[in-house]
A and B are shown apart, each in its own frame.
Chain A
């Protein structure tokens, strides 16, 4: 299937149901949660991307209080409801051709209202009509000024491991 540029627009692959999970492994506790409502877009011509997830869609905490602390105190979701990552793909790859691509995504990771530029290794498996995204990376809390009180220090890790999976499909051309 040949994909052609139409009206000067690039080819956009997108998803509304990507999965993003994080895990905090601390000496006294392991906490993890997952959201299945990650939104993402990749423009294969411009090789740019944008991903976003609403923090409130994470589920799986050990208890409700923990979840509440995460939202209200640490991440302050009333002020910063969304975490985003957007930027460009460094390697010049043609994602319209089927194949597996190990690329680096470089962009601004914005969590808790603070942006940090990150270069993340991402695996893209393209079938031509679909792109599967997987990535795993660490997010240091200090990068995004996520402050955890000393009392719970032993229960929350300073670096959170995050994994991302998603399948993006070609957007319907207008």
Chain B
């Protein structure tokens, strides 16, 4: 690697100028008695992590939170890094290494071999493998779970490694006391060295930073800054720091081409044009500078003891030691400052401020540098001056020369003509060649165009040649091609007609020949060529004193409360008191754009310089979930909540380090809230959620406008309690249906059965009755009667009595299920009388009636007697004796078995069986039929409880 000698021209030594940023002091980190913050690290998700002498903390702009290491010890953190997967790692001075997440969980690397040695770097190559550099023990690599030392030739000699990184080719760069070593582990394995022989100004290298284009910035402890150009493979020395500033202890890259160096006492910015500026540190910084960070939003973070200072590097302050600054103008080498007391010029390198036009006591309101370098000065009451910076000659024009008024609020123009916005209308001043030598012509628009003598606040020469004028009360005027006319804004649906400004303070160019105007009520509108309102800025409620473009696409709107910076996406940031802009008193239209796109703003006794971001980025609050309950809401999968844990508790924070106090949030639970809930709290809690599906949306914004805010969404479902679950309800319904169905079916069956029973009973009774009206019996009875009638008239009458008595009984009890035992016995006696008359002594009836209470089925005993006669021989040779025994419980009818030879004419099985069947319905005890030892006995139970209905 050779040095290209011409590039040494870039090597600047010495010129370090003081430049002010406003450093906002963050609340001090007082947890755990932290003394020194050594590392400020910003993760991919924009969270700020701090490495201190008592462990790791993370900071969201409001509060510091500790991230304890797994062994709970509080030691000095020596490096913080983030793996490609996004996990944060920390290394300590005692060799301890662990990972953590913002939720505080950590796991550590057990490394006896590293114990006691300071971890100077944790880095991840393209394959996300972890390499560890130490102070005293070389380099290690984590391979799976095994820690191995990287050994390669001279690497073994290297013990103290200050810093390391992987370059875009995957090579490992090591900053050591002996220059830079570059190690390539992939084959071919190789080791190369950058030392003084290769152009490195000094061998002690303490910082390495890689820029987005792959080049490496090199911080040299005792020297300053150097640069490695990857394309040309050379090292270029950039800057030698004055020894009085100390040693380089921190380095970070800001905007592309911009390097920030920190020494223990100072911060120096190196610019890509070779110049450098020493940043004046706030007087509150008493301790040593511990660490430096340039964050993604362009803020510069400086750790000082246990305090953190943050500066917005877009705005720089210069204090030229003047007061009453009302106007600014730019020329190639100077910034012209117009004050109440006269004209001053500030050397662009801000080294010196000089007074010009000393003999003229002028109160300068406006200034303009023309293309030839002449400075035109508008004053308060003293007319117009033209000042030639080269000769320091001046000339003066007043109302006497034809100006419409001696108080000139604004000047703009192009070529050899300028227009003056005055307190008494508009004047046009033009010249040819050198205005000092030639005639200057002045035209008053009041006379020429009948323009009233009103205050004109602003004149703007647009790029397309039109000249615009903002007046007091008469609206906007435009001068084009010799024509001067009032410019009407067309009616608009969004902006009310009475909001169309009639008093216009400031005009600036928009894209594509549009213009922006600001009105006295704070309205800011973008107008098309035809007067249509294309856009309006909503964020401001106060008077906008200046509108000025910055960079290519930004617009600055300057108010007393602060400066709104609007990017081309329409998003705006307010840079105000909370970001450091305190006691800001801008004057009207005292802001001017420089050739490089930056903007100079006059602030009464100081000058602000706004440098636009080179990259046009969307700037919004970065939302973070700090903790959620239930934990399943951490991921963005649909979560499921049980009915008894139907609540959510979401703790969040929005990162906007520029101005943490300005962050506001809104959230909404779809399914529960009708509308957004706006808050500045950091917690959303919902409890007692009824079952259903919900979507939780959370947005954060640093302005009132949430239209561009990114949102965080989580979806979840609350399961209804088991008694509301579909399967439970369905099951229950089915169960109920089944029960009802079964019940009704059973009932029908039961009813049917009852019906059947009734029918059977009736049938049986019918049969019983039918059996009783037995023609055979009648026939035999009448036969017998006929015999008796012949013999004995009285006996016949008795017989007929008995017979009729019997049939009377049958008639009386034909419907009854049960009759009294006495009544049955009565009937049985009647029957027996009749039978005895017929059979005489062939039939012997034996009665043994101990008891005659209770109930019995009608004609049951009778039937048994009848059966006995039917089935058995009843003759003189073989008389039949039937005994009827009645006791407490039973009626027994028994007879000896002497069967007839001929089968009976009727099937009597039916009769007895039907009687048995009848008794089944009547009582529990069954009729007993016994055949034993030639005796046939039938016992009928006497019923006491079951009375017939």
Q: Which of chain B's residues have a CB closer than 8 A to the CB of A92?
A: 178
The answer to whether B177 touches A121, judged by C-beta atoms less than 8 angstroms apart, is no
The answer to whether B222 touches A106, judged by C-beta atoms less than 8 angstroms apart, is no
Q: Which of chain B's residues have a CB closer than 8 A to the CB of A119?
A: 204, 221-222, 247
Minimum C-beta distance from A168 to chain B (A) = 23
Q: How far is the CA of A44 from the CA of B612 in the complex (A)?
A: 55
Interface size on A, residues (CB 8 A): 7
Q: Which of chain A's residues have a CB closer than 8 A to the CB of B221?
A: 119
Interface size on B, residues (CB 8 A): 7
Q: Which of chain B's residues have a CB closer than 8 A to the CB of A90?
A: 177-178, 203-204
Q: How far is the CA of A119 from the CA of B204 in the complex (A)?
A: 10
Q: Which of chain B's residues have a CB closer than 8 A to the CB of A91?
A: 203
Interface residues of B in 240-266 (CB under 8 A from A): 247
- Whether, in the assembled complex, A104 has its beta carbon less than 8 Å from a beta carbon of chain B, the answer is yes
How many pairs, one residue from A and one from B, have CB atoms within 8 Å of each other in the complex? Answer: 14
Q: How far is the CA of A90 from the CA of B222 in the complex (A)?
A: 12
Q: How far is the CA of A121 from the CA of B247 in the complex (A)?
A: 12
Interface residues of A in 97-137 (CB under 8 A from B): 104, 106, 119, 121
Q: How far is the CA of A119 from the CA of B247 in the complex (A)?
A: 10
Q: Is the interface of B mostly helix, strand, loop or mixed?
A: loop
Q: How far is the CA of A106 from the CA of B203 in the complex (A)?
A: 13
Interface residues of B in 687-743 (CB under 8 A from A): none
Contact with A along B197-213 (1 / 0, CB 8 A): 00000011000000000
Most B-side CB within 10 Å, residue of A90, A92, A106, A121: A90
Interface residues of B in 170-197 (CB under 8 A from A): 177-178
Q: Which of chain A's residues have a CB closer than 8 A to the CB of B203?
A: 90-91
Q: How far is the CA of A95 from the CA of B222 in the complex (A)?
A: 22
Residue of B nearest to A92 (CB): B178
Interface residues of B in 209-253 (CB under 8 A from A): 221-222, 247
Q: Which of chain A's residues have a CB closer than 8 A to the CB of B222?
A: 104, 119, 121
Q: Which of chain A's residues have a CB closer than 8 A to the CB of B178?
A: 90, 92
Q: How far is the CA of A42 from the CA of B247 in the complex (A)?
A: 25
Residue of A nearest to B196 (CB): A91
Minimum C-beta distance from B186 to chain A (A) = 30
Q: How far is the CA of A106 from the CA of B221 in the complex (A)?
A: 12
Residue of A nearest to B35 (CB): A142
Residue of A nearest to B178 (CB): A90
Q: How far is the CA of A92 from the CA of B203 in the complex (A)?
A: 11
Q: How far is the CA of A104 from the CA of B203 in the complex (A)?
A: 10
Q: How far is the CA of A92 from the CA of B197 in the complex (A)?
A: 13
Minimum C-beta distance from B309 to chain A (A) = 19
Minimum C-beta distance from A16 to chain B (A) = 29
Q: Which of chain B's residues have a CB closer than 8 A to the CB of A104?
A: 204, 222
Residue of B nearest to A121 (CB): B222
Q: Which of chain B's residues have a CB closer than 8 A to the CB of A106?
A: 177
Minimum C-beta distance from A83 to chain B (A) = 22
Residue of A nearest to B160 (CB): A106
Q: How far is the CA of A121 from the CA of B202 in the complex (A)?
A: 13
Q: How far is the CA of A31 from the CA of B177 in the complex (A)?
A: 35
Residue of B nearest to A89 (CB): B177
Interface residues of B in 326-378 (CB under 8 A from A): none
Residue of A nearest to B36 (CB): A142
Contact with B along A67-93 (1 / 0, CB 8 A): 000000000000000000000001110
Q: How far is the CA of A92 from the CA of B157 in the complex (A)?
A: 13
Minimum C-beta distance from B679 to chain A (A) = 44
Q: How far is the CA of A92 from the CA of B204 in the complex (A)?
A: 12
Minimum C-beta distance from B195 to chain A (A) = 10
Q: How far is the CA of A63 from the CA of B177 in the complex (A)?
A: 43
Q: How far is the CA of A106 from the CA of B247 in the complex (A)?
A: 14
Q: How far is the CA of A91 from the CA of B203 in the complex (A)?
A: 8
Q: How far is the CA of A32 from the CA of B221 in the complex (A)?
A: 29
Residue of A nearest to B135 (CB): A117
Q: How far is the CA of A119 from the CA of B221 in the complex (A)?
A: 9
Q: How far is the CA of A74 from the CA of B203 in the complex (A)?
A: 37
Q: Which of chain A's residues have a CB closer than 8 A to the CB of B247?
A: 119
Q: Which of chain A's residues have a CB closer than 8 A to the CB of B177?
A: 90, 106
Residue of B nearest to A143 (CB): B288
Q: How far is the CA of A106 from the CA of B160 in the complex (A)?
A: 11
Q: Which of chain A's residues have a CB closer than 8 A to the CB of B204?
A: 90, 104, 119
Q: How far is the CA of A121 from the CA of B178 in the complex (A)?
A: 15
Q: Which residues of B contact A (CB under 8 A)?
A: 177-178, 203-204, 221-222, 247
List 14 A-B pairs, Cβ < 8 Å. A90-B177, A90-B178, A90-B203, A90-B204, A91-B203, A92-B178, A104-B204, A104-B222, A106-B177, A119-B204, A119-B221, A119-B222, A119-B247, A121-B222
The 7 closest A-B pairs by CB, nearest first: A90-B177, A90-B204, A106-B177, A104-B204, A119-B221, A90-B203, A119-B204
Q: A91-B203, A106-B177, A119-B204 are in contact. List 9 more A-B contacts (CB 8 A).
A: A90-B177, A90-B178, A90-B204, A92-B178, A104-B204, A104-B222, A119-B221, A119-B222, A119-B247
